[in-house]
Amino acid sequence: MAGTNRQWLLKERPVGMIGPQHFELVESGMPTPDLASGQVLIKTLMLGFDPAMRGWVMDEPSYLPPVPVGDPMRASGVGQVVESSNPALPRGTLVQGLLNWQEYSIADPATARALAALPAGVPPNLALGIFGSTSLTAYFGFLDIGKPNPGDTVLVSGAAGATGSVVAQIARLKGCRVVGIAGGQEKCQWLREACKLDAVIDYKRDAIDQQLGLLCPDGIDIFFDNVGGDTLEAAINHMADFGRIVLCGAIAGYNDATPRPGPHNLMQLITRRIRMQGFIVIDYLARAPEAIADLTQWVGAGQLAWREDIQQGFENIPATLQRLYDGRNCGKQMLKLADPE
Amino acid sequence: MAGTNRQWLLKERPVGMIGPQHFELVESGMPTPDLASGQVLIKTLMLGFDPAMRGWVMDEPSYLPPVPVGDPMRASGVGQVVESSNPALPRGTLVQGLLNWQEYSIADPATARALAALPAGVPPNLALGIFGSTSLTAYFGFLDIGKPNPGDTVLVSGAAGATGSVVAQIARLKGCRVVGIAGGQEKCQWLREACKLDAVIDYKRDAIDQQLGLLCPDGIDIFFDNVGGDTLEAAINHMADFGRIVLCGAIAGYNDATPRPGPHNLMQLITRRIRMQGFIVIDYLARAPEAIADLTQWVGAGQLAWREDIQQGFENIPATLQRLYDGRNCGKQMLKLADPE
């Protein structure tokens, strides 16, 4: 195979808002086709974007090692095996998992084992979208950490996002009353009409704390938080006794140059016996089939709405990541590089 | 019965440090001896003091209604029935429960039912101390919320206090490695020598965050927090994956005129999958016999150390409460008013 391979390398660790200036586009020769036994050459077809990626470039110990400066940026993605010395992944196989911001990559046997073959008939956008890691995050975080009961009042922040909108709809399917927080009239309308939420707060227009008092007079039983900061503080003020706060993300603070203070009202966790718990979807990957089975059923029955925001162009990758942090994305953020062969 | 009855009434709601100026000592006639059916007249013998009392005078909905301005201050205590129209509580019975800062009180049937008779042979100081609510708090908070496993590293703040010292020792008895945080050389020495902790941090001398790095290199599995504020923030920095933070109290902030910000590092609850959970001992009162059985066995076997700080004099009640907030108390804070008849 001749040709070139483009990569976006992490140029420096961002302080404050992450942007294209923190990455460097390089072009090199194609990876060698002389694959060692067990290796595969993967062509990247579609990349997924998630707010948590901001944490992957921090030089701090976390659930995944930091992306080294000078290395290609890590990302979830779908690729296709275009050369193979691995009988488990023959040429043509569509695979999903942690890839990089690059057009081609050679996966060693260990890396290849961590990739999952796409089920027949599932296109890359659905594999990364409604059946992807954000939906698994929603499923296990809400059900396993939130432990909903029918009739619970559930609040979801970042409710129009890929994770939040699935949480909100699973909550509805489980018989909960669901209130969402999102930014802007268009997103709020989609949540009301397509996702059938009971109520929506537009944080760009309304005071969250005041609205929660009106919309959740008996308190919030489960708060699924993707945002943190002032949103978390406002929700704590309105939690019901024995409520659960599922900490999924804290996008409000991901691009702070210095960490912002936590909520002033943590004392209420004691007086109202509240459980606040963080989780990472990676811990649930072995149980993914449970989630996929339910999601497949709900999708088939037309019970889940979702949206996809698919950008184009290798050169636009870093700018596409930024869309998540200023709320410009409309549904699951992806970027398409190529169609399957 | 002739004579007078002294009371400490809540004069105004404190802003900032609570002190004698927020209470008013009044003297009135003895409550009438003409008891209605089911009523008892109780003479207060011993009062218990707990940091949580600071919350009881706040005008905020909480797990107990706020003490009204003009009413006697609420307190845990031991009393003796000195007149009775209630066959369940004959004259002479020693009772324990929520009383008030007053020498005598009439308990209506409902109030009387909420009082527990002291087991035979248990003196008031032990009923309020090692067998009292602070020990129940330690027992249920640590075991039910903390869910210890043998070999866990357990950190306790306010470790020399009535609750903290019992948590630390139960942790030791359950096979955990125990690190305590306390203020001053004398308290730290007692924790090391009498309570047999594995390590102690003197927060008046040492930087907590730095010491935790040295003493808990593999992370903290359970943090039992009585303090909040900077102590909580430092502990979060050193929690192990899947660690549990038991929120029992936040004495560092109880007397703040305006609430202080929460920890800047809550994001770590997500990346390390940490559960942070508040609780109130009142929810466990029905299960008190479980705790009393274990405590009785440990005390009998000489496996628990404790200290009592017993003040004297009705006029000193508000000043005795203050001792908790400046750390002057040495063990369970009590005040003795009278001996049983």
In chain A, where does DSSP find H-type helix?
Answer: 53-56, 109-113, 124-128, 133-140, 162-173, 185-193, 208-215, 229-236, 267-271, 288-300, 317-325
Q: Helices A133-140 and A288-300: crossing angle, nearest 10°?
A: 100
Residues B262, A263: C-beta atoms closer than 8 Å: yes
CA of B142 vs chain A CAs: smallest distance (Å): 14
**How much is the CA Rg of chain B, to the nearest whole Å?**
21
Q: How far apart are CA A119 and CA A306, in angstroms?
A: 20
A249: which chain B residues are within 8 Å (Cβ-Cβ)? 270
B250: which chain A residues are within 8 Å (Cβ-Cβ)? 266-267, 270
Q: How far apart are CA B236 and CA A59, in angstroms?
A: 18
- Cα dihedral B181→B187→B192→B197 (10° resolution): -40
Is the per-residue pLDDT at A327 higher than 90? Answer: no
pLDDT tens-digit readout, B204-213? 999 999 999 9
A147: pLDDT confidence band, cut at 50, 70 and 90? very high
pLDDT tens-digit readout, A180-210? 999 999 999 999 999 999 999 999 999 999 9
Q: Which residue of A has its CA nearest to B252?
A: A267
Average pLDDT of the residues of chain B: 95
Output the pLDDT for position A313: 97
Mutate to test the interface with B, among A53, A277, A280, A284 (most CBs of B within 10 A): A277
CA of A197 vs chain B CAs: smallest distance (Å): 26
Q: Which amino acid is at A245?
A: I
pLDDT tens-digit readout, A239-297? 999 999 999 999 999 899 888 899 999 999 999 999 999 999 999 999 999 999 999 99
Share of chain B above pLDDT 70, in %: 99
Residue A137: name the closest of A117, A167, A115, A107 by CA: A167
* CB-side neighbour CA atoms (13 Å) of A160: 26
CA of A28 vs chain B CAs: smallest distance (Å): 35
Output the pLDDT for position B61: 82
Mutate to test the interface with B, among A147, A238, A260, A273 (most CBs of B within 10 A): A273
What size, in residues, is chain A?
A: 341
Give per-residue burial for B240-269: e unless 16+ CB within 10 Å, then b: beebbbbbbbbbbbbbeeeeeebbbbbbbb
Q: How far apart are CA A167 and CA A21, in angstroms?
A: 34
Tokens at residue B10, please? 């809540």
3-class SS of residue B91 = coil
State the burial class of residue A295 (Cβ atoms within 10 Å of its Cβ: 0-12, 13-18, 19+): buried
CA of A54 vs chain B CAs: smallest distance (Å): 12
Quick check: A215 and A179 in contact, CB under 8 A? yes
Quick check: B133 and B281 in contact, CB under 8 A? yes
Q: What is the pTM of this model?
A: 0.95
Listed in sequence order, the residues at least 6 apart from A300 whose beta carbon sits closer than 8 Å to its beta carbon are: none
* CB-side neighbour CA atoms (13 Å) of A258: 2
A1: pLDDT confidence band, cut at 50, 70 and 90? low
Residue A158: name the closest of A265, A50, A259 by CA: A50
Output the pLDDT for position A229: 95
DSSP-assigned states of every residue in B190-249 = HHHHTS--SEEEETTTS-HHHHHHHH-TT-EEEEEESS-HHHHHHHHTTEEEEEEEEE--
Tokens at residue A86, please? 């691995």
Quick check: B266 and A233 in contact, CB under 8 A? no
What domains, with CATH codes, occur in chain A?
4-129+306-336 (3.90.180.10), 133-282 (3.40.50.720)
Residues B266, A262: C-beta atoms closer than 8 Å: yes
Quick check: B239 and B219 in contact, CB under 8 A? yes
pLDDT tens-digit readout, A75-101? 999 999 999 999 999 999 999 999 999
The region that residue B70 occupies, defined by phi over 0 for left and psi between -120 and 50 for alpha, beta otherwise, is left
Would the CA dihedral through B145, B149, B150, B152 be positive or negative? negative
Return the biggest CA–CA distance within chain A. Answer: 66
Residue with tokens 């031991």: B78
B249: which chain A residues are within 8 Å (Cβ-Cβ)? 270
Quick check: B56 and B127 in contact, CB under 8 A? no
Residues B250, A270: C-beta atoms closer than 8 Å: yes
CA of B242 vs chain A CAs: smallest distance (Å): 9
**Chain A residues interacting with chain B (CB cutoff of 8 angstroms):** 55, 62-63, 228, 232, 247-250, 253, 259-280, 283
- Interval A228-238 mean pLDDT: 97
B230: pLDDT confidence band, cut at 50, 70 and 90? very high
The beta-carbon neighbor of B261 closest among A261, A267, A269 is A261
Share of chain B above pLDDT 90, in %: 89
B17: pLDDT confidence band, cut at 50, 70 and 90? very high
Q: How far apart are CA B274 and CA B242, in angstroms?
A: 5
The H helix count followed by the E strand count for chain A is 11, 15
- Interval B222-248 mean pLDDT: 98
Output the pLDDT for position B34: 86
What size, in residues, is chain B?
A: 341
8-state DSSP, A284:
G
8-state DSSP, B43:
E
Quick check: B179 and B201 in contact, CB under 8 A? yes
- Interval A3-22 mean pLDDT: 95
B247: pLDDT confidence band, cut at 50, 70 and 90? very high
Output the pLDDT for position B2: 58
Is the per-residue pLDDT at B327 higher than 90? Answer: no
CB neighbourhood size of A210 (10 A): 11
Residues A262, B262: C-beta atoms closer than 8 Å: yes
Q: How far apart are CA B152 and CA B172, in angstroms?
A: 10
Residue with tokens 């324990």: B96
Give per-residue burial for A141-171: e unless 16+ CB within 10 Å, then b: bbbebbebeeebbbbbbbbbbbbbbbbbbbb
The beta-carbon neighbor of B63 closest among A261, A271, A279 is A271
In chain B, where does DSSP find H-type helix?
Answer: 53-56, 109-113, 124-128, 133-140, 162-173, 185-193, 208-215, 229-236, 267-271, 288-300, 317-325
Is the per-residue pLDDT at B307 higher than 60? Answer: yes
Residue A46: name the closest of A106, A92, A97, A89 by CA: A97
Q: Which residue of A has its CA nearest to B269?
A: A278
- Interval B134-160 mean pLDDT: 98
Residue A179: name the closest of A238, A130, A135 by CA: A238
Q: β-strand A275-278 against A239-247: which pairing, if any? A: parallel
- Interval B186-200 mean pLDDT: 98
DSSP-assigned states of every residue in B58-90 = SSS--SSPPPPTTSBPEEEEEEEEEEES-TTS-
Is the per-residue pLDDT at B1 higher than 70? Answer: no
Q: How far apart are CA A209 and CA A233, in angstroms?
A: 9
Tokens at residue A132, please? 């992807």
Output the pLDDT for position B31: 74
Q: What is the ipTM of this complex?
A: 0.94
pLDDT tens-digit readout, A95-130? 999 999 999 999 999 998 889 999 888 999 999 999
C-alpha distances out from residue A234 to A48, A227, A231, B129, Å: 31, 12, 5, 38
Q: How far apart are CA B204 and CA A26, in angstroms?
A: 54
Residues A280, B271: C-beta atoms closer than 8 Å: yes
Q: Which residue of B has its CA nearest to A254?
A: B267
Mutate to test the interface with A, among B277, B283, B285 (most CBs of A within 10 A): B277
3-class SS of residue B142 = helix
